[in-house]
Amino acid sequence: MSVEPDIRRPPVMVDVARLAGVSHQTVSRVLNAHPNVSTVTRERVEKAIAVLGYRRNTAARSLVTRRSQTIGVLGSDMSHYGPANTLLGVQQAARDKGYFVSMASLDEVTPAAIKDALEYFMMQSVDGIVVIVPHETMFESLSTISMSVPLVAVGFGVDERLSVAAVNQRMGASLAVQHLVDLGHTAIAHLSGPPDWIDAAARIEGWRHTLAKAGLSDSALIRGDWSAESGYRAGLELAATGNVTAMFAANDQMALGALRAFYEAGVRVPTDISVVGYDDQPLAAYFGPPLTTVNQGFKQLGARSMQMLLFDMATGHSGASLVVNPKLVVRSSTARPSPGEYATGAQVR
């Protein structure tokens, strides 16, 4: 595919259609992620776009389509690695399709705050909304609110009333715990996130299910709040009681806090206790020791969420579900238990 550039004006959609050998309408379908386009045709159009350096005129398009070319993204605490990187995935996918992103963040997850945030988006005439707040209150609110634009909920359980994109959290927890079981650990604690967060509840379920399958006790559950400080407190508690040989933390930040507590208490990782985190944030490979953890594929999740939203915007379809499977990343914070060392066999309650 070759073309002589026209330096007098920027390329328009007709130029893309001519170069790709398709109709103007087909180019529009590709740009709007319409499902009724073959893979071969889509690739031809995308190649023509790249060759020409075509960019949408979003202002002109908005006048014609009566759309704002804006996507609303509702989050909570974007200081956490997972939500922030899911947002990045959504932003990149939206930008690639010619959409702007309007961001709103909840200071607290309450029905009133959720209602205000959604009304804020509607005042901006957004074309669709992505919600990255996997919290029970958010789930309950979205199940009762009637929206006039498509909405994709990230991190929720499957529900026919919502289009949902999620990581298989039970699978991720099972991968982490099964790794410890396979190493020979029989006393495995779980440092969980807040139970009203859907992801945290699913990871508890995965931990319990995997232990039950192995015939092991699930009594060693410690509640955290996603912060390194709560991990530090849990680490001090486990170091004092000395009753487990392994710990699965519901995110890397809590695992980091626990590693610090173990270091201060003279508990060696992984000789005395093995530690598995969750998220695989970039710094996890440089913890002391490098952290075994679960990679959730956040950017992929964000991109797939945007694809689902574009599909719903084009077709009016809703109630679909998409699941991303996580992967275990094994590093040196886990090892086989050392017989006769550290663990006493007591139970944390």
Q: Is the pTM of this model over 0.85?
A: no
pLDDT score of 291 more than 70: yes
Q: Which of 112-121, 229-238, 251-260 has the lowest mean pLDDT?
A: 112-121
Domains held by the chain: number: 3
Residue 160 has a pLDDT of 63
In a domain, 333, yes or no: no
Does 249 fall in a domain?
Answer: yes
Distance in angstroms (rounded) separating the CA atoms of residues 315 and 29: 11
The mean predicted confidence, pLDDT, of the chain is 86
Assess contact for 348 and 222: CB atoms under 8 A: yes
The burial class, CB within 10 Å (0-12 / 13-18 / 19+), for 295 is middle
pLDDT at 189: 98
Say yes or no: 305 and 156 in one domain: yes
Q: How confident is the model at residue 67 (pLDDT cuts 50, 70, 90)?
A: low
The SS3 call for residue 274 is: strand
pLDDT digits (tens, 9 = 90+) for 235-250: 999 999 989 999 999 9
Domain of 136, CATH number, reads 3.40.50.2300
Residue 302 and residue 242 share a domain: no
Length of the chain: 349
What Rg value do the Cα atoms of the chain yield, rounded? 24
Residue 21: which region, alpha, beta or left (left: phi > 0; alpha: psi -120 to 50)?
left
Helix H or strand E segment including 57: none
126 and 237 in a single domain? The answer is no
156 shares a domain with 71 = yes
Express each pLDDT in 17-64 by its tens digit.
Answer: 889 999 878 888 887 777 788 888 988 988 888 888 787 655 445 444
Mean per-residue pLDDT, 168-179:
97
Q: Which helix (H) or strand (E) holds 5?
A: none
Work out the average pLDDT over 259-282.
96
pLDDT, position 89 = 83
Query: Judging by beta carbons within 10 Å of its beta carbon (0-12, 13-18, 19+), is residue 84 exposed, middle or buried?
Result: middle
Domain assignment of residue 84, given as a range = 67-168+297-325
**Residue 341 within a domain:** no
Residue 208 burial (CB count, 10 A)? 18
pLDDT at 8: 53
Percentage of the chain beyond pLDDT 90 is: 45
Confidence of residue 161 (pLDDT cuts 50, 70, 90): low
CATH number of the domain to which 43 belongs: 1.10.260.40
Identify whether the C-beta of residue 293 lies closer than 8 Å to the C-beta of residue 280.
yes
Query: Is 82 in the same domain as 129?
Result: yes
Mean pLDDT of 201-213: 97
Question: Cα(310)–Cα(37) distance, rounded to whole angstroms?
Answer: 14
Stretch among 107-121, 142-156, 234-248 having the lowest mean pLDDT = 142-156
| Whether the predicted pLDDT of 153 surpasses 50 | yes
- Same domain membership, residue 71 and residue 141: yes
pLDDT score for 2:
52
For residue 205, being part of any structural domain is answered with: yes
Type and span of the H or E element at 293: strand 293-295
Residue 259, C-beta contacts closer than 8 angstroms, at least 6 positions apart: 235, 269, 275, 287, 288, 291, 333
The verdict on 173 and 292 lying in the same domain is: yes
For residue range 298-348, list pLDDT tens digits in order. Answer: 878 888 888 889 888 888 767 778 888 999 999 999 999 987 655 533 333
Query: Is residue 44 classed as helix, strand or coil in its secondary structure?
Result: helix
Closest alpha carbon to 193 in 242, 144, 148, 231: 231
Say if CB 22 and CB 41 are below 8 A apart: yes
Tell me: pLDDT of 349 over 50. Answer: no
Token readout for 21 is 């050998």
Identify whether the C-beta of residue 31 lies closer than 8 Å to the C-beta of residue 97: yes
Paired tokens of 98:
């010619």
How confident is the model over 70-94, as pLDDT tens digits? 999 998 876 778 778 888 888 888 8
Whether 175 and 29 map to the same domain: the answer is no
